[in-house]
Structure 1
Amino acid sequence: MLVLQILRGVGELALGQQAQAQLGIVGVLVLLLIGIGLRAQRYGLAIGAALVFVALMTQA
């Protein structure tokens, strides 16, 4: 269980660093929207933000 939490934390950090390096503050804000959507159980917001994130990452 602890190993999964550590891997999740490292993955979140790596994804945040990559998003910030490629997209700047916009990438970080989109990742924040994904997190907010998942926490609030608003999956439409999370899925929409994830699609925008993927589209921005492929264009950058």
Structure 2
Amino acid sequence: MFLTNILLKKAKAKKIMVVMESIVSGYTFNVIRPRLADKLEFIAYDPYIRMQSVFREKKKLRSIH
């Protein structure tokens, strides 16, 4: 085993996939955002209520390299 493999750390991903959830109906979908950005919150179409609704970031799913 080479010493350089031990000393070098694995690089972190620049983007992550998160779950967005509607605060009205609970409808969810996935979005990719930069790792260093703030948590997402935006208005989008909710098919359950057939209107615009506020979506908030619920949790992180995985890293995207």
RCO higher in 1 or 2 (8 Å CA, sep ≥ 6)?
2
The two structures share one fold, judged by TM-score above 0.5:
no
TM-score range relative to shorter protein: under 0.3
- In the superposition, the TM-score normalised over structure 2's length comes to 0.22
Higher strand proportion: 2
- In the superposition, the TM-score normalised over structure 1's length comes to 0.22
Higher helix proportion: 1
Q: Which has the larger radius of gyration?
A: 2
